[in-house]
Amino acid sequence: MPKEQRNTRIPRQQPVSCRFCRTRKLRCSREAPCSNCVSRGISCELEAPVPPLPKQSEWELQERLRKLEELLVTKNRRPEDTKNAPQWDTPQNPPDIREASFEENLNLDVIWLESVCAEFGPSESKPKERIALKLGSVHDIGGCNHSGRRIPKCVYLPQHHEAKILLQKYIEHIDYLHHIVNIPQLPAYVDRVYASLSTDKDIELGQLVLLLSIFASATYSWVAEDCDRGLFASQEDANNQVPSWVEATRDVLDIMHRSATYSLEAVQGIVILGWVIINREELSTVWRSLLSHALFMSHEMGLHRVDHPSNAAAAKTVQAEIGRRVWWYLVVSDWFTAAKLMGLTEGVYLCNPRHMVVRQPLNINDDDLIDGNELVGQPLSQPTGMSYLLQRFKFGELTRRIVDRTPIMSTDAPGLGYQDVMDFDTDIQTFLNEIPAFFSMEKAQIMSTYHLDEKMTIFILTGGYMIKVLANSQRCKLHLPYFARGYVDSSFAYSRAMCVKSACLVIQNMCHQENCGIRNFTRYRSCALIFGVFIATVILLMDYCVNKANSQYRREVAHAFRVLHEARRFSLTATKLMDTMMFVFRKHQVALPKLKNACDAASIETHFGPENGSKWPSTLVDGTMMSGASDSAISVTTESPNEDVLPSYFTDFGPWPDQGPEMDGFDWDGIFSELNSSFV
């Protein structure tokens, strides 16, 4: 027989004998009933005919297609808490539905092919780098985490009991500033990481990033009072370790970036690390790169669509609520960055509100975040651990609207028009009016009214000061282009008055914060507060130079200079702003006020007297601030109250003439242009 005929498959024919005759191998009469079945008195059963395929309506076909599409989307979507790098998914075979029509099978094939094309992931042949983890005393780690080019890279972690001390420092004094981690679960999380280390189990890179960033923030914010914890002998010992922890965290992030690995813990770690970098190095390229990386990972995990209808079930979990906090913190940080930067990235942000489906987080304490229970937020009038963050998110949306209205591409009309300035001034005033009342209460009143402990009360007080400084400093910057014109043109008098008023409020908030016993690191190491004090100082000094007869701001100016000077020890931002301001004022021969009475001298002696050993920094030499030199030996006392109290900051400036305001003597455009560049 030819090969073609042997391979030809003959379709099966329908049997003609009844079932009983086929079973007993009898000759069937092929009638119904047959003679064999009749003689034996049994029922005669023939082969049942194949029923025709049910004809499905168009609506039923569309419904089946919709269900299949949802099934494919559900199977292809990565979970939000992905810990490992996405792997290539083996393409499933096209669905084989024999009863489906030709059109339905064709549609299913198209859907399957689209899903395969959309699921291209990282190559399996990607380089896989590993990190060696070693435990050691926290005192010996400072120089060890500079891994350089060693392969595999080695990261040293502190001992378990030392890590607990650093974690407690983070929880007590840092977390409330961003609050993107579920705090009640954090100690158990650290215990699990160290348990894995003790049993030689692998630790996921995202977990390592979160842990290292916590260590970096704890050592960065370490102050003298924290030495009672028994971990570091001095504040300097802890602060000197910050670069080591930052570099170790970035090493791990670099490996995650190259291997396309992402996780929620890694994004949380970037937020915490970014807080350290911003406050140490200002809005640098490093921070913007980290922010872009965090947004990329967040998009890959679907944090921008947590509340999409397809995620209805998962959106009610604690993990989703933490995801909302992380996402909104990143988005608002993106908008703030666009508002503060100048140059090519001025006014450019990455997160469009129309490209996300995420509601704002609930006003809820972490203790109430329990899976299985309904998550119900409290009204905004009730203080919680989220109160400050929600106000920050609200102000971030206002900042984005300012960025959207600012023409960055037009050379004919740079900056906001005056009508836009007035509109946003109204928006800022509305925001300030709507700030919850507890942010303006005294410490004892908050504790008695809302039955809060001292720790939570301090969080609320600090959050209130920070949000008010943020709003008032933004108001200053909003009116600053029209500040000088307000002295000569009554049309802009409101801008001058509002600049001065907002600047005074910034300084007064800082003074009030100090009087309430808020820890110094919040005031001296917060980039947002430093920016606010800087712009307030510039405005008050300018107002004093123009209107010398009004000396009511001398004490505010003295306090602002002290804050900036103290912050120079911890923040490169403060150093740059202070040096720039002094250089510009000296260049334009702007005279600074002298403090001539005992009251003013006493107010400064409190902060710069010999009892605390503080000194005024070095003076300008040939137009350059000697930032690296040791501080001047000049200290202010009140032994001769009738003498001029003139710190070294003020000695390089020429005497102020006895005449009244002389607007023509200043190059206001040059001064403001050079000072504005310091915001970059």
**Model confidence pLDDT, tens digit, residues 215-231:** 999 999 898 888 888 88
Would the pLDDT of 122 be above 80?
no
* Bridge partner list, 624: 621
Would the pLDDT of 124 be above 80?
no
Cβ contacts of 21 within 8 Å, gap of 6 or more: 27, 28, 34, 36, 37
Would the pLDDT of 278 be above 80?
yes
Instruction: For residues 582 and 156, give the distance between their C-alpha atoms in angstroms, rounded to a whole number.
Output: 42
Nearest to 156 by CA among 94, 64, 249: 249
**What's the pLDDT band for 333 if we cut at 50, 70, 90?**
very high
Would the pLDDT of 370 be above 70?
yes
Between residues 632 and 205, which one has the greater pLDDT? 205
**What's the pLDDT band for 604 if we cut at 50, 70, 90?**
very low
Most confident of 61-65, 120-124, 490-494: 490-494
Would the pLDDT of 237 be above 70?
yes
Would the pLDDT of 340 be above 70?
yes
- Mean pLDDT score, 667-679: 51
Q: What is the pLDDT of residue 630?
A: 30
Q: What is the pLDDT of residue 387?
A: 95
Q: What is the pLDDT of residue 572?
A: 77
Average pLDDT, the chain: 75
Would you say 509 and 528 are in contact if contact means Cβ atoms under 8 Å apart? no
Nearest to 498 by CA among 479, 482, 519: 479
Instruction: For residues 392 and 106, give the distance between their C-alpha atoms in angstroms, rounded to a whole number.
Output: 52
Q: What is the pLDDT of residue 642?
A: 33
Q: Which of 203-212, 521-530, 663-672 is predicted with the least confidence, judged by mean pLDDT?
A: 663-672
Token pair for 486 = 């307000």
Would the pLDDT of 115 be above 90?
no
Would the pLDDT of 654 be above 50?
no
Instruction: For residues 567 and 573, give the distance between their C-alpha atoms in angstroms, rounded to a whole number.
Output: 9
% of residues, the chain, pLDDT over 70: 66
- Mean pLDDT score, 506-530: 73
**What's the pLDDT band for 43 if we cut at 50, 70, 90?**
confident
% of residues, the chain, pLDDT over 90: 31
Most confident of 89-103, 567-581, 627-641: 567-581
Q: What is the pLDDT of residue 358?
A: 95
